[in-house]
A and B are shown apart, each in its own frame.
Chain A
Amino acid sequence: MREIKYEDIVKSIRDCIIFSGTNLPKDAYAKMQEAHEKEKSPVAKEVLRQLLENADIAKNEDKPLCQDTGLAVFFVKVGEDLKILGGSLKQAINEGAELGYREGYFRASTCHWDTRANLKDEIGYNLPAVIHFDLVAGDELEIEYAAKGGGSENVSRATVLAPAAGRAGIVAFVKEVVSNAGPNPCPPLTVGVGIGGTFEKAAISSKHALFRELGSKNEDPVLDSMEQELKEELNKLGIGAMGMGGTQTVFGVHIEKNPCHIASLPVSVNVQCHSSRHTKIKF
Chain B
Amino acid sequence: MSKTYNLTTPLSVDDVTQLKAGDIVYLSGIIYTARDAAHKKLIDLLDAGEQLPFDIEGSVIYFVGPTPPKPGDPIGSAGPTTSYRMDSYSPRLINEKKLRGMIGKGKRNQAVIDACVQSKAIYFGATGGAGALLARQIKSAEVIAYPELGPEAIRRLEVVDFPLTVINDTYGQDLYQIGRAQYEVK
Question: Do A and B share a complex?
Answer: yes
Where the two chains meet, the residues of A that have a C-beta atom closer than 8 Å to any C-beta of B are: 40-44, 46-47, 50-51, 53-54, 57-58, 61-69, 105-109, 116, 118, 120, 150-151, 154, 182-184, 186, 236-240, 242-247, 273-275
Cβ 8 A contact of A246, one of B67, B70, B179: B179
Q: Is the interface of A mostly helix, strand, loop or mixed?
A: loop
Q: Which residue in chain B gives the minimum CB-CB distance to A247? A: B183
Cβ 8 A contact of B105, one of A42, A108, A183: A183
Chain A residues within an 8 Å CB radius of B150:
108, 118, 120
Tell me the complex Cα distance, A70–B66, Å.
12
* Residue B59 at the chain A interface, CB threshold 8 Å: no
* Residue B68 at the chain A interface, CB threshold 8 Å: yes
Q: Which residues between 136 and 186 of chain B lie within 8 Å of chain A, taking CB atoms?
A: 136, 150-151, 163, 165, 167, 175-176, 178-186
Q: Which residue in chain A gives the minimum CB-CB distance to B106? A: A184
| Number of residue pairs spanning A and B whose beta carbons lie under 8 angstroms apart | 166
* Residue B95 at the chain A interface, CB threshold 8 Å: no
Q: Are B127 and A64 in contact (CB under 8 A)?
A: no
Q: Are B179 and A274 in contact (CB under 8 A)?
A: no
Q: Are A184 and B84 in contact (CB under 8 A)?
A: yes
* Residue B82 at the chain A interface, CB threshold 8 Å: yes
Q: Are B68 and A107 in contact (CB under 8 A)?
A: yes
Tell me the complex Cα distance, A238–B131, Å.
25
Known contacts A43-B22, A244-B176; decide if A273 and B2 are in contact (CB<8 Å).
no
For the A-B complex with A107-B66, A240-B183 known, give 16 more contacts whose Cβ atoms are closer than 8 Å.
A41-B179, A41-B182, A42-B2, A43-B179, A50-B163, A63-B132, A67-B79, A108-B151, A151-B105, A236-B184, A236-B185, A238-B185, A240-B180, A242-B105, A244-B167, A244-B179
Q: Are B179 and A240 in contact (CB under 8 A)?
A: yes
Shortest beta-carbon distance from B108 to chain A in Å: 10
Chain A residues within an 8 Å CB radius of B133:
50, 53-54, 57
Known contacts A57-B133, A67-B77, A184-B84; decide if A242 and B128 are in contact (CB<8 Å).
yes
Chain A residues within an 8 Å CB radius of B70:
62-63, 105
Q: Are A58 and B163 in contact (CB under 8 A)?
A: no
